[in-house]
Structure 1
Amino acid sequence: MKRAVSISLGSSRRDHAIETTLLGVPIRLERVGCDGNLRLARERFLALDGQVDAFGVGGADLQLQVEDRVYPLYAVQKLVAGLRTPAVDGGGIRRVVERQLVPRLEAQLPVPIQPRRVLIGTAVARYDLACSFEAAGYEAIYGDFGFGLGLPIPIRSLATVRRLARLLMPIMGRLPFHWLYPTGDKQDEIVPRFQAWYRWATVIADDFHYLKKHLPERLDGKIVVTNTTTPQDVELLRERGVAYLCTITPRLEGRTFGTNVMEAALTAIAGQGRPLTPPELRAMLREEDLTPTVLALNP
């Protein structure tokens, strides 16, 4: 039986393990949270190195890719440095799924999205998602300064995002990871900010922990586009008036996993002993696997 383990900087309260069959291969999938403790995460990677077929890196990115430039996040890369077992963060899966997201999303909604406005929390982290909305003709606010640095400065174009990434990411990639992303118990904190951005947008899109970080009390009529959510997350959005929740994590044979877990599972099944390229990942998935899940909360 193949074994893929996601070691996450997120909360240990979401830990789970299942044994299943994917693409005809028996596999055990595990998620182990480290509550923001990087030293503990490193110890767990080392303890399991060579004993599992693939690692997922959860609650963090090993690197960010903006257009053709790759920006390492050095604090996260230290977690997996020198491992024999391949480690993936879900970025390859996101590049496969998110570039074509908007047409797939719009095809599932009962009415057109109007006005075509989107708030994306961090375009440098979800660049392919941002490109999909731009290609579909949406106006956008990219909240990288706000959600990443706490500065109330909206960015209005991807050209600006690219220029800022070239200027700032070589520096920011060397900062402690908890400065850039909520980890552990901080993922449960909500401090409303940037409310005008949320009000302006029809669609709010990004990793759920970023969106939740500054969530307003009311999101009536909004469409939220995000990753895998817990039942508690769904209920939170329902209570705040969200009309539709779109989760973009791929479904493999009817099951939904986090992107790092999904990529680790496919890496384990492929058995190449290395991370797979986006074309290799795409070849293992069917079109229906890439279709987002749309849930009507307050239609």
Structure 2
Amino acid sequence: MKKIVVIHINDGESTTTVEFLGQPMEIRRIGCHGDPDKAEALMNQVDGTVDVIGLEGMPHWLELGPARREHSVGTRLSGITTQTPVVDGSGIRAGIERWGVILADRAQPGIFAGKRILMVPGLNHAGLSQSLGRRSEQMRFADPEIFFALPDIPGVGAKWMLEQAAAPTLEQLQDAPFRRLLPEAGHPGVERSKAPFEWADLLAGDIGTIRRYAPEDLKRKTIVVESATAEDVEDLKRRGASIVVTMIPALVERGALSPWSATVFECCLVAARRNPDAPLNEDTYLDLMADLQWTPGVRYLQPEEMGLNKFAFVIHPLNIGFIHKHDRFRWTKHLPDEIVEPIAALVPPMYVGKITGGQSPATGQKIEGYLISLGSTPREMMSRDENFTYKKLVQSAKMAERFGARIMGLGAFTSVIGDAGITTAHQCDIAITSGNSLTVSATLEAAKQAVIKMGATDLTKGKAMVIGGTGSIGSVCARLIAQAIKDVVLVSIEPERLIEFKRMIEEETPGAQVTISTRAGDLVADCDLIITATSAFGQRIVDITKCKPGAVICDVARPPDISEQEAALRPDVLVIESGEVLIPGDINITYDIGLPPKTVYACLAETSLLAMEGRFEDYTLGRNITMERVKEIYRLFKKHGYQLGGLRSHGKFVTEEEVAQKRVQADYWRAHPAEFKAMQKEAGAKLEKIPRMSKGVKTKQNSLKQWGPLAAVAGVIGGLMLAGRGRK
């Protein structure tokens, strides 16, 4: 049996037997109470009687970034023995930390991504800081606070620390007592600044240092350390930490939290050498580790975090009124909209709320969502270069990763801009979906229910129109409708695509009759169902006065294409929104997204559904939504117990009584064609008095310039909004 003695700087003695790489090993740990003389005496006592001696917490070298210094006492101790090799963990620590970060990220994708990282400390953790730094743009070092109780300096990042302060730090520590370099858990004599710890999402370094110097409140923090005992884990759990990750192999149970330090692990590798004369270097260790099967220990500490799949969803104000209603920006209603709207678009993405309580009745999988809002209205997005919105979405994705989300959905116009999510997905590490596959499914299901409620008995004999029929949502709706109704009218402003699309539908659905047009016009008069899925502004998408009695209009657009004023002109026509969705579970949404409690838009529901299924992958991207994806997401919709919410029209539920009244009115107009035509003429005259608009806004006519001196306040507004963002 291989014999290992590890001398550590704390108190106590223990002996453990393990099997490592097929060899039994006895690990004897002896405390020296931080006394170098006692450590030296113990080393002389066991020299030549064991296979390897480990010095735990007594390093030969001190390393911080590019700086490297010998520790005066550690150097002396490493050269005392004459027969038994001595190691201190430095030969393996950096390599195992780099490897461990990779393996932990594979086991729990995104666990480190986008986090604000604080090294506690960075001293002798080069591998950990380098690997974590590749997964985050925000890293700081707590070494000045920990070792010298210096005040926190906001804005000082990792690069400055390593370039300017690393060498002076090591010069002051090269004669420091070991207990100062590797402190125990407890209370410091001098309190350290809380600011860097509160700033961070992830604390990485030494468990004793973190427990001693971090503030009591560690809620939602991820802790990454070499090792953690049961006592360490309980303390972190009590203080609210979310996750603890240990980098060193557990030696006994694969994937368990490891109580072993890098020193112990290096001792095991030295003892396991096939050739006892092999040099104690990285090449020898790498050859041995090639036979090692392990993953870092990852444990979720809080019950609500265990087995929780997280997602994020990007929203934005559908019109200027949403900005005025926001608690932090109510004061903007006293300023001209023509100033507020473009300035709001400049505000960085903001976390605004959370969706909790989602759980699949089929699998028990729990989900949690984060709502992130941009400041742009649809008009602002459409008037700016698409890269402006892409940049905001990349910022949103990084924020989502910080929260632990592994998939992000694009809401409303963020899924319309540019290439409908493709560029965003390429620029982000997190999975992206536009949510349009489930939007199509929910739209068609809602439309089907509405048409049946309005009295249709045989849907196959009806006629449907899709406005925006060559768009990402409209095109798939048209293809699926053609399979059921056969008689379809496609409307689009892209005539060349209409011709191609008509041919495709008629080829894939024999018997389908497709009419194409660049405007709805009088064609609506023969249609039982009209679906609008456009991104148009300042236009009248459909003349509702020309619709046939009892028609159904399913308005997919957000904001809607058909205003409430227009809908009121035809009491016999049912105008509904695309299908909204109920997520299974005890849902709580902490931000008003403009829907009833527990109800979400279908695009948001798709994002949550993919999280519930554990499908953290780019799902619905681009303008060519496949019917296979639409059908697959609908199967998942059914599997996990999602349901359509009630039919809604302009933010209100449509009651059975209202539908009955519309049916009565429609029957009357069918029976009295002359009176119907008179009503249409009267309604048409009223329609002309309603401004031509879509998405709830008229064509933007006024420029910022006409406001003259008022435009000067724009900079002030922007500054206030950005300042508010900083305080948040």
TM above 0.5, yes or no, is yes
Partner of residue 8, structure 1: 8
SS at match of 2:209: helix
Matched to 2:249, the amino acid is P
SS at match of 1:194: coil
SS at match of 1:19: strand
Q: Report matched runs for 1:58-137 at 5 Å.
A: 58-66=56-64, 70-84=68-82, 85-109=84-108, 113=112, 115-137=114-136
Measured in 2, the distance between the counterparts of 1:159 and 1:214 equals 22
- Deviation of 1:89 after TM superposition, in Å, equals 1.1
Cα 1:44–1:259 shift into 2, 3 Å: same
Matched to 1:174, the amino acid is D
Kept in 1, the 8 Å contact 2:9–2:179? The answer is no
Tell me which of 245, 251, 265 is aligned to 2:268.
265
| Runs of 4+ deviating beyond 6 Å | none
Cα 1:190–1:71 shift into 2, 3 Å: same
Kept in 1, the 8 Å contact 2:118–2:200? The answer is yes
Measured in 1, the distance between the counterparts of 2:80 and 2:39 equals 14
- Deviation of 1:241 after TM superposition, in Å, equals 0.6
Partner of residue 180, structure 1: 181
Matched, 1:276 2:280: yes
State the superposition RMSD in angstroms.
Answer: 2.5
Cα 1:158–1:88 shift into 2, 3 Å: farther
Q: Which moved more, 1:35-44 or 1:171-180?
A: 171-180
Kept in 2, the 8 Å contact 1:119–1:204? The answer is yes
Measured in 2, the distance between the counterparts of 1:88 and 1:96 equals 15
Deviations 1:248-276 (Å, cap 9, x if unpaired)? 11234637432111111111221535762
Matched, 1:201 2:200: yes
Partner of residue 248, structure 1: 247
Measured in 1, the distance between the counterparts of 2:160 and 2:279 equals 30
Kept in 1, the 8 Å contact 2:2–2:24? The answer is yes
Measured in 2, the distance between the counterparts of 1:53 and 1:38 equals 21
Cα 1:29–1:132 shift into 2, 3 Å: same
SS at match of 2:248: coil
Kept in 2, the 8 Å contact 1:228–1:258? The answer is yes
Cα 1:145–1:259 shift into 2, 3 Å: same
SS at match of 1:47: helix
SS at match of 2:272: helix
Q: Which moved more, 1:69-78 or 1:212-221?
A: 69-78
Partner of residue 18, structure 1: 16
Q: Report matched runs for 1:192-231 at 5 Å.
A: 193-231=192-230
Kept in 2, the 8 Å contact 1:53–1:273? The answer is no
- Deviation of 1:205 after TM superposition, in Å, equals 0.7
Unaligned runs of 5+ in 1: none
Matched, 1:52 2:50: yes
Q: Which moved more, 1:146-155 or 1:201-210?
A: 146-155
SS at match of 1:166: helix
- Deviation of 1:238 after TM superposition, in Å, equals 0.5
- Deviation of 1:112 after TM superposition, in Å, equals 5.1
Measured in 2, the distance between the counterparts of 1:219 and 1:287 equals 37
Kept in 2, the 8 Å contact 1:9–1:33? The answer is yes
Cα 1:290–1:139 shift into 2, 3 Å: farther
Measured in 2, the distance between the counterparts of 1:278 and 1:225 equals 23
Matched to 2:287, the amino acid is A
Kept in 1, the 8 Å contact 2:57–2:178? The answer is no
Cα 1:219–1:171 shift into 2, 3 Å: closer
Cα 1:220–1:29 shift into 2, 3 Å: same
Measured in 1, the distance between the counterparts of 2:63 and 2:294 equals 21
Partner of residue 602, structure 2: none
Q: Report matched runs for 1:121-160 at 5 Å.
A: 121-154=120-153, 155-158=156-159, 160=161
Unaligned runs of 5+ in 2: 306-728
**Over alpha carbons, which structure has the higher Rg?**
2
Partner of residue 166, structure 1: 167
- Deviation of 1:33 after TM superposition, in Å, equals 1.1
Measured in 2, the distance between the counterparts of 1:86 and 1:135 equals 35
SS at match of 1:245: strand
Tell me which of 181, 189, 193 is aligned to 2:186.
189
TM-score by length of 2: 0.38
Partner of residue 567, structure 2: none
Deviations 1:42-79 (Å, cap 9, x if unpaired)? 11011111111101111232213456654211112222
Identity rate of aligned residues, in percent? 26
Kept in 2, the 8 Å contact 1:34–1:41? The answer is yes
- Deviation of 1:210 after TM superposition, in Å, equals 1.1
Deviations 1:151-191 (Å, cap 9, x if unpaired)? 12455124531443334424531334344332xxxx14223
Kept in 2, the 8 Å contact 1:80–1:87? The answer is yes
SS at match of 1:251: coil
Pick 1 or 2: higher relative contact order, CA cutoff 8 A, min separation 6. 1
Deviations 1:266-298 (Å, cap 9, x if unpaired)? 112215357621232122114864521100101
Partner of residue 233, structure 1: 232
Kept in 1, the 8 Å contact 2:62–2:70? The answer is yes
Measured in 2, the distance between the counterparts of 1:229 and 1:77 equals 27
Measured in 2, the distance between the counterparts of 1:21 and 1:114 equals 35
SS at match of 1:99: helix
SS at match of 1:218: coil
